[in-house]
Amino acid sequence: MMGLKRKNSAESTDLNLLNDVQKQLRVNLQLWGATHDAGERLLSLYSVEAQHLEELVTRTLTLGESNSALIVAPRGTGKSSLVNTVLEKLESSRTLGEGLVVRLSGLLQTDDRLALKEITCQLKLENATANKVFGSFAENLAFLLESLRSGSKETSKPVIFILDEFDLFCHHRNQTLLYNLFDVAQSAQAPICVLGLTCRLDVIELLEKRVKSRFSHRQIHLYPADKFDPHYLNTFKHLLELPFSFPHKNFAQKWNSDVAVLAKDSLVIQVLKRLHSITKDVRTLKTFLLLCVCQLNSDQAQLTSQMFQRAQSLSATEAKTNMLQGLSVLQLCLIVAMKHLTVIYEGEPFNFEMVFHEYLKFSQQRSTMQSFEQPVVFKAFDQLKSLELVRTVESTRGTQREYQLVKLMMEPNHVVKALSQLSGIPTDLQQWAASSLA
């Protein structure tokens, strides 16, 4: 009995340890870009850009100088993380002082009214504006900034405005928010620094003429470190390593050494290079590694190269390809017929009558399978539309359903590849799909 208790206790400990490992790795994948280690890495990668940004914000905080700038970079590069790291550095050096940071997002503050409400909330001035009626947006914003003054202009609290998804603010009515922020920055009414974060290179062209004239036209571009070795490979290791704070020190040390070995494994490197060739976005790498971490279990508590290969096959499978597995043979015949029509008409839309004609040619001349009447075929076609494998072209409203123009929502080569992976498909259908003749 004592031996059995010890065995159960050991198994319980192993399960608890595995749960702790998976929990920590999920935290790594979720918070990468917001952790101290990620911030330090960004500062080293973009040292010149970070110094420029730091000097810009520092002049606003210490000298009361108003500034504006755009930070332009592809998604997943680390724009927000770099700004946050610079602000944390200024806070730790006490340069930030009484400076306030207002964070807005074009995805959340979809109009100027919501933006102004959020600014008021983050500046904690709800009580000051509760009983006041303002004639314009500019008057309201001026009052908010005036409320931050304690005596003269020199003793005003500086405000750092961070506008994430900056290009979405350009679609606000009359661009009132941007106009007033840039106007305050240009006229030095109050010490503010406006930082816009965007992934659009043409964002300046979206600004109205009056807004553009008040913007400093200062742009900071972050060019992603796209080299596989060492940048991408180092990120891979950072995401999977257990931190020093992990409670099981001996296990963490062994785990990290195993991760270093994995980073040199030829199979793992082959999988990572393929992913890197498709996209260099760290978020895609994080999603991929999550598929690997989810394969850990009590029998296999260490990552292996086979897990990476399984994750690759899972991530490479498209949703529409999976949907083909549940279709009938008749529906698959219609998919192949539409594949041929897409090739023949070079991507131009077609209608059901054309699809039915292609199906009849196949079933009567080249197939030994059962042939179905038009009403049955149309019902199968309608089900493909409800699954969104086929999409109706919008300009065909009011037309009879049989003659409505549609498009197949799969690439022809994907259809052939998907059918080759399905089991139990008639040979006639596979040959028709692979042929270049309709």
* pLDDT string in tens for the chain (438-residue length): 444 444 444 444 477 888 888 888 888 787 765 566 667 777 878 889 999 999 999 999 988 888 999 999 888 778 888 899 899 999 988 888 888 999 999 999 998 889 888 988 998 888 777 777 777 777 888 888 777 765 445 567 889 999 999 999 999 888 988 988 898 888 877 888 999 999 999 999 999 999 999 999 999 998 876 678 777 888 888 888 888 878 888 888 898 899 999 999 899 999 998 888 877 778 888 888 988 888 888 788 888 889 898 888 777 666 667 778 788 889 999 999 999 999 888 888 899 999 999 999 888 877 677 888 999 999 999 999 888 888 888 665 667 888 888 898 888 888 888 888 777 888 888 888 888 755
Decide if 214 contacts 183 (C-beta within 8 A).
yes
Neighbours of 428 (CB within 10 A): 16
Of the three residues 171, 205, 221, the one that is the final residue of a domain is 221
Distance, in Å, from the CA atom of 221 to the CA atom of 197, rounded to the nearest integer, reads 10
State which of 221, 249, 272 marks the end of a domain: 221
Q: Is the domain of 243 the same as that of 337?
A: no
Task: Please state, in angstroms and rounded to a whole number, the distance separating the CA atoms of residues 38 and 41.
Answer: 5
Map tokens 């690759």 to a residue: 312
CB atoms within 10 A of CB 17: 15
| Residues contacting residue 214 through CB under 8 Å, at least 6 positions apart | 179, 182, 183, 185, 186
Query: Residue 207 maps to which CATH number?
Result: 3.40.50.300
Q: How many domains does the chain have?
A: 3
Asked whether 193 and 68 are in contact (CB, 8 A), the reply is: yes
Beta bridge partners of residue 330, listed in sequence order = none
Torsion angle in degrees (nearest 10) through CA of 412, 416, 418, 420: 180
Could you tell me if residue 161 is inside a domain?
Answer: yes
Which of 268, 292, 316 terminates a domain? The answer is 316
Nearest CA among 31, 30, 27 for reference residue 242: 27
- Within-domain flag for 405: yes
- The answer on 332 and 247 residing in a single domain is no
Task: Provide CB contacts within 8 A for 170, sequence distance 6+.
Answer: 178, 203, 206, 207
- Cis preceding linkage at 426, omega within 30: no
37, part of any domain: no
Same domain for 367 and 290, yes or no, is no
The residue among 84, 13, 105, 96 whose CA lies nearest residue 60 is: 96
Q: Quick check: is 304 in a domain?
A: yes
**335 and 296 in one domain?**
no
Whether 411 is covered by a domain: the verdict is: yes
Cα–Cα distances in Å, from 133 out to 125, 139, 145, 171, 392? 14, 10, 16, 26, 50
264 & 326 share domain: no
Question: Quick check: pTM over 0.85?
Answer: no
What pLDDT score was predicted for residue 269? 92
Range of the domain at 247: 226-316
Determine, yes or no, domain membership for 376. Answer: yes
Alpha-carbon distance 97 to 257, whole Å? 42
**Nearest-10 crossing angle of helices 233-240, 266-278:** 110
Residues 62 and 199 in one domain: yes
- Residues sharing a CB contact under 8 Å with residue 344, sequence separation 6 or more, in sequence order: 438
Q: What is the CA radius of gyration of the chain?
A: 30
Position 158 in a domain: yes
**203, 74: one domain:** yes
Scanning the structure block, which residue is given the tokens 């030994």? 368
The answer to whether residues 184 and 203 belong to one domain is yes
Identify the three-state secondary structure at position 300.
coil
Do 297 and 391 belong to one domain?
no
> What does the pLDDT read at residue 13?
44
Beta carbons within 10 angstroms of residue 322's beta carbon: 10
Distance from CA of residue 51 to its chain's centroid? 27
Q: Are residues 100 and 208 in the same domain?
A: yes
pLDDT value for 183:
87
What pLDDT was estimated at residue 395?
A: 63
The pLDDT of residue 163 is: 95
Task: Classify residue 41: in a domain, yes or no.
Answer: no
Cβ-based neighbour number of residue 295 at 10 Å: 15
- Same domain as 161, residue 53: yes
Distance, in Å, from the CA atom of 150 to the CA atom of 146, rounded to the nearest integer, reads: 9
Question: For residue 334, what is the domain's CATH number?
Answer: 1.10.10.10
Q: Are residues 285 and 149 in the same domain?
A: no
